Amino acid sequence: MIGPRIKQARVAAGFSLRQLADKTNNYVTAQSLHKYELDRATPGSDVLLKLAKALDVKVEFFFRPNAAAVTLGGPAFRTRSGASAKELESIRARAKDWVEKYLEVESLFPEKRFKRFRMPKVSAKPVRKLEQIEEIAAAVRKEWSLGIDPIDKLIEVLEDRGVKVALVEAEGEVDGLSCWVNDDIPLVLVKKNQMSDRLRFSIAHELGHLLLNVHDSVKREKAADRFAGAFLVPEEAVKAELGENRQSFNFDELKSLRVKYGMSVQAWIYRAHDLGIISNSFFTHIFQVLRSTGMHKKEIGENLPPEQTKRFERLVLQAVEEDLISPAKGAELLKVRLNDFRKQLEAGAITGNVRP
């Protein structure tokens, strides 16, 4: 069924039928594209080559096996000023493509090798007050054996527990997306090129959307924000670092904690306020200072090492090394040129007779 693949690639690229036709210099008309997408006509190899170039995909994309197809549940978006339906649809299409490839690669290995996601038991508890989220976040950390220490590689922690995490290109309005794949696989997508602490907060925020059972009386975005802060820095850790009551802060103190925990200075201020460590008046005063200097619009402190998604790439490399797929297939999955991929394989190869 080539038609749905053509539509998926078109929507992911953010093109209308007319715009895609224009990208092919009208070699393929909008009317023909409509017929192809509905499987009312079959495109020839020349058409597929034109479409692949216009959509920046490999021709093989149109023939991806149905066994890898997925369905995405309803998403929860975190936005700053609203995003168009077209942009959100494009993100969903790209997410679908990425997850399909991910599951296709995982299917090459024994199923028992990979942990399936298990919903933490505490997630069933309904959230009627924001304060309850502290207990829920602590329980999730305990069930996942994370203790109260800083989480060094947040993406790796989630992926090790069956959560799929992807970094995507997106416009300024969209920070993240979370939804369920095939009803049982949690998916978190966040925008690339964010400051590391903002990106980490976005990931934890979207995780909150997936895990929390929020009552209608509680605002979901505030609940997800509270979970993000509590998951990144539990209450016990906050009080160990700041004490239980503060009348003043030094920004250098908070910048040091930002580096240690990978959570922004502003998020630390919110954590102190949420936990009653600072008063409402002092909280208000801090943000008056930030606004007066313009510091409220940016992260405070130097860049931190970026979070990266490496698990999918590792699996592709392993599949190629174990002759489960060809280098050409590996290059297609990673969206890199075959020659560049071959060079990567050669550069990292371990050769020769190795004895235990």
CATH number of the domain at 53, please: 1.10.260.40
pLDDT of residue 79: 47
Same domain, yes or no: 34 and 161: no
Query: Which residues of the chain register pLDDT less than 70?
Result: 64-69, 75-83, 171-173, 296-297, 351-356
- d(C-alpha 22, C-alpha 8), whole Å: 18
Same domain, yes or no: 211 and 286: yes
Under 8 Å between Cβ of 99 and 182: no
pLDDT of residue 66: 57
What is the Cβ-side half-sphere exposure of residue 207, based on CA atoms within 13 angstroms?
A: 32
Same domain, yes or no: 159 and 226: yes
Q: Is residue 236 part of a domain?
A: yes
Same domain, yes or no: 149 and 246: yes
Q: Is residue 227 part of a domain?
A: yes
Q: Is residue 76 part of a domain?
A: no
Given 297, 318, 338, the domain boundary residue is 297
Same domain, yes or no: 126 and 260: yes
Given 40, 63, 86, the domain boundary residue is 63
Under 8 Å between Cβ of 4 and 37: yes
Q: Is residue 276 part of a domain?
A: yes
Same domain, yes or no: 194 and 268: yes
- d(C-alpha 187, C-alpha 278), whole Å: 35
Q: Is residue 120 part of a domain?
A: yes
Given 279, 297, 315, the domain boundary residue is 297
- d(C-alpha 158, C-alpha 264), whole Å: 20
Structure-token pair, residue 325:
């797929």
Same domain, yes or no: 201 and 286: yes
pLDDT of residue 141: 97
- d(C-alpha 176, C-alpha 202), whole Å: 6
Chain centroid to CA 338: 26
Same domain, yes or no: 178 and 291: yes
pLDDT of residue 354: 40
Q: Is residue 152 part of a domain?
A: yes
Same domain, yes or no: 136 and 45: no
Same domain, yes or no: 49 and 174: no
Q: Is residue 125 part of a domain?
A: yes
pTM value > 0.85: no
pLDDT of residue 111: 80
Which structural domain range is residue 42 located in?
Answer: 1-63
Q: Is residue 10 part of a domain?
A: yes
For the chain, where are the alpha helices, taking DSSP H only?
A: 2-13, 17-23, 30-37, 45-55, 85-106, 132-143, 154-159, 196-211, 220-232, 235-242, 251-261, 265-274, 280-293, 311-321, 327-334, 338-348
Helix (H) or strand (E) holding 79: strand 76-79
Overall domain count for the chain:
2
| Closest alpha carbon to 23 in 35, 6, 42, 38 | 6
pLDDT of residue 351: 56
Same domain, yes or no: 155 and 50: no
Same domain, yes or no: 268 and 160: yes
CATH of the domain at 190: 1.10.10.2910
